[in-house]
């Protein structure tokens, strides 16, 4: 017994001998896969250094040679984008848009590192293979495409020299589209479930813009189905969607001014999409996201100076007739012209507003803006000209509104007399007497409001237009270094509720101009009582709401106010109050049957009669 025990310890192989035997078994697996061994030897050394145990059984199993390896980055680039592919997972490790910078002047990288995943899982024998964790072999150390050339590079996950999975990335000399094809070869007897695959795509969005709040608010998942319908979610709150009833043609991980899109030629049959904001890692900061689709809100974002949101997509697609899975990536700026030129409805990612606002921006404002950009003017001048054109188009409505308010102001003394005579105890009778006066004078009490109401959709449309306008990004004017974000001329150094940590000078000027506009508007309309003071509250609401919005938006509102002052001044020179008063007196002399009764007046009279009848019945 002692001899047996002694021989066991004496003949036991050393740790180095055990490691050599594991290496020998692994090299045999590599030879079967047709992969060179020197790089893998280095990877085993690195695995030892990291104290990662090597599963000998897994090394002998299907795709065992791909369990360990040395991670290398392979660069694929053209004039516009630079991709880095990693041998670990064969996926895109990082994407850089070469012609753009972040708000602080750094290279604009949409995503990078291991917070991002791309791959799929499949069964091979008793093993479950996740491509994201396996090592691929590149067909070339790198690739640069120029001019009108088009080329590709292949990342291969090998089972044997004749059995493998290829990730084929193709690129043209310019543009933002990256062709991507998954092509299994000779694996029908190895992998049983490759008739369809479910891709796992995950990305942690980096902060790219100065305003973290707007970057967060405008980051979401968008999707476009094969019926040409577009929708999005995740801008307001963390959410998840399962889409199984329709195929999706593409899914977009969208940020404020840039997006990453994955497109399928045949469509994704099943999709699970989710958006989350990580509040567990890094420095937590409260950030106001301004007004989303459902109002003002505040969220907490971890690592606010690094990551904005975490987006995930599980996408199921069927194998093509040639046994491959044809896909394409599209990494681009969210500029309407660029997205529209690519096709597939990609321009729908740009949120131009809801309902009629979208059509106003799409078919009226955007064409005029594009026309003005052809003259290579500063974008501050372009906004000035755009505002001027808009004001000229709306000037007839402004004139009608001013004229109607002037009539109401002239009638104000007579209305006060009626009020003193009838009293405020009988509001129904008072309104009836007012209507009689309006009818005799030929004045529509809503004449000043209707033109303003017609203009309101346009004013609101610009609220969506300027924050979504990529062209303003990085464009300066006067003291504003970037019209696509706020101008923080005044910095507090600490956060103030609703104002954030700064005060925008252009927002302050816009607020002051709105206060002045309100004052003069009250003088024209002759409004009194509480309504006179309510109008002064609105500008301060604008101050708190728009302080962190783009300077270009506040600049437009400021210009609109200033041009309205000018319009009203010119109209005042053309409108004579004495002539208006004489016209009103002339209207009073006309017989009632010759006076044109407006639909509003008829409805109001009918309502008053019904109210009088109800009051009579109660008495």
Per-domain residue ranges of the chain: 197-319, 371-594
C-alpha to C-alpha distances, 275 to 23, 232, 240, 366, 390, nearest whole angstrom:
43, 11, 6, 30, 38
Match 């310890």 to its residue by tokens. 9
Give the C-alpha separation, 331 to 99, whole Å: 12
pLDDT at 240: 92
Crossing angle of helices 427-441/599-618, nearest 10°? 150
Contact 168, 329 (CB under 8 A): no
10-residue mean pLDDT profile of the chain (619 residues): values are 37 47 47 42 37 60 81 92 93 93 90 87 82 91 88 91 92 92 88 85 89 86 91 89 92 93 91 82 42 40 62 92 91 92 90 82 89 92 92 80 72 70 69 69 62 72 87 91 88 80 89 83 62 74 86 92 83 70 64 53 54 54
Phi, psi at 491, each rounded to 5°:
-110, 130
Contact 83, 77 (CB under 8 A): yes
pLDDT at 266: 87
| pTM across the whole model | 0.75
Label the pairing between strands 73-77 and 142-144.
Answer: parallel
Contact 277, 309 (CB under 8 A): yes
Give the C-alpha separation, 77 to 98, whole Å: 9
Give the C-alpha separation, 98 to 95, whole Å: 9
Give the C-alpha separation, 91 to 20, whole Å: 31
Beta partners for residue 203, in sequence order: 311
* Residue-wise burial string across 195-221, b where 16 or more C-beta atoms lie within 10 A, e elsewhere: eebbbbbbbbbbbbbbbbbbbbbbbbb
End-to-end CA distance of the chain: 120
pLDDT at 38: 37
Length of the chain: 619
Give the C-alpha separation, 317 to 195, whole Å: 9
pLDDT at 351: 86
Match 């209707």 to its residue by tokens. 450
Phi-psi region of 125 (alpha: psi -120 to 50; beta: other; left: phi over 0): left
Contact 350, 336 (CB under 8 A): yes
Joined tokens for residue 210: 């100065």
Give the C-alpha separation, 258 to 57, whole Å: 45
Give the C-alpha separation, 382 to 385, whole Å: 5
C-alpha to C-alpha distances, 274 to 222, 334, 430, 564, nearest whole angstrom:
11, 21, 58, 46
- Classified as helix, coil or strand, 270 is strand
Contact 220, 238 (CB under 8 A): no
Beta partners for residue 158, in sequence order: 164
Joined tokens for residue 617: 């019945």
Helix (H) or strand (E) holding 129: strand 127-130
Give the C-alpha separation, 167 to 137, whole Å: 10
Q: How many CA atoms lie within 13 A of 91 on its CB side?
A: 24
């Amino acid at each position: 017994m002692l001899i047996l025990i002694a021989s066991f310890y004496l003949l036991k192989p050393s740790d180095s001998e055990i490691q050599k035997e594991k290496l020998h078994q692994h090299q045999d697996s590599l030879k079967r896969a047709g992969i060179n061994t020197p790089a893998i030897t280095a990877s085993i050394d690195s695995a030892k250094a990291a104290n990662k145990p090597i599963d000998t059984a897994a090394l002998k199993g299907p795709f065992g040679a791909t369990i360990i390896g040395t991670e290398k980055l392979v660069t694929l680039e053209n004039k516009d984008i630079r991709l880095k592919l990693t041998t670990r997972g064969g996926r895109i490790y990082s994407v850089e848009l070469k012609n753009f910078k972040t708000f602080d002047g750094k290279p604009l990288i949409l995503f990078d590192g291991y917070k991002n995943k791309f791959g799929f899982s499949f069964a091979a024998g008793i093993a479950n293979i996740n491509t994201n964790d396996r090592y691929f072999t590149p067909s070339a150390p790198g690739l640069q495409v120029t001019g009108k050339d088009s080329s590709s590079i292949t990342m291969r996950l090998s089972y044997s020299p004749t059995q493998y999975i290829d990730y084929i990335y193709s690129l043209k000399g310019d543009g933002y589209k990256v062709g991507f094809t998954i092509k299994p070869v000779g694996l029908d007897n190895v992998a049983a479930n490759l008739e369809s695959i479910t891709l796992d795509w995950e990305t942690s969005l980096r902060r790219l813009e100065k305003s973290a709040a707007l970057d967060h608010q405008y980051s979401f998942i968008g999707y476009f189905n094969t019926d040409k319908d577009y929708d999005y979610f995740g801008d307001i709150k963390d959410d998840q969607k399962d889409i199984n009833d329709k195929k999706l043609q593409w899914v977009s991980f969208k940020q404020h001014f840039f997006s990453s899109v994955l497109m399928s030629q045949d469509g994704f049959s099943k999709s699970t999409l989710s958006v989350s904001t990580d509040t567990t890692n890094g420095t937590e900061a409260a950030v106001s996201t301004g007004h989303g689709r459902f109002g003002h809100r505040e969220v907490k974002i971890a690592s606010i100076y690094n990551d904005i949101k975490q987006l995930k997509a599980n996408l199921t697609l069927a194998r093509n007739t040639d046994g491959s899975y044809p896909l394409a990536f599209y990494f681009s700026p969210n500029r309407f012209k660029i997205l529209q030129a690519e096709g597939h409805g990609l321009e729908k990612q740009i949120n131009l507003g809801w309902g009629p606002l979208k059509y106003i921006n799409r078919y009226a404002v955007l064409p005029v803006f594009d026309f003005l950009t052809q003259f290579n003017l500063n974008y501050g001048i372009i906004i000035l000209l755009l505002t001027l054109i808009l004001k000229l188009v709306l000037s007839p409505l402004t004139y009608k509104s001013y004229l109607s308010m002037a009539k109401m102001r002239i009638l104000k003394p007579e209305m006060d007399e009626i009020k003193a005579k009838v009293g405020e105890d009988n509001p129904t009778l008072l309104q009836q007497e007012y209507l009689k006066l309006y009818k005799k004078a030929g004045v529509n009490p809503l004449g000043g409001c209707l033109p303003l109401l017609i203009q309101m959709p346009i004013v609101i449309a610009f609220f969506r237009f300027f924050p979504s306008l990529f062209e303003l990004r990085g464009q300066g004017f006067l003291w504003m270094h970037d019209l696509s974000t706020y101008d923080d001329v005044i910095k507090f150094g600490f956060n103030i509720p609703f104002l954030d940590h700064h005060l925008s000078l252009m927002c302050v000027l816009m607020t002051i101009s709105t206060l002045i506009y309100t004052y003069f508007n009250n003088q024209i309309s002759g409004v009194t009582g509480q309504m006179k003071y309510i109008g002064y509250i609105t500008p301060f609401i604008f101050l708190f709401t728009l302080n962190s919005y783009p300077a270009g938006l506040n600049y437009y509102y400021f210009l609109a106010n200033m041009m309205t002052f000018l319009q009203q001044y010119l109209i005042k020179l053309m409108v004579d109050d004495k002539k208006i008063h004489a016209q009103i007196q002339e209207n009073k002399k006309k017989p009632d049957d010759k006076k044109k009764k407006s639909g509003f007046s008829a409805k109001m009279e009918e309502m008053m009669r019904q109210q009088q009848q109800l009051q009579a019945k109660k008495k």
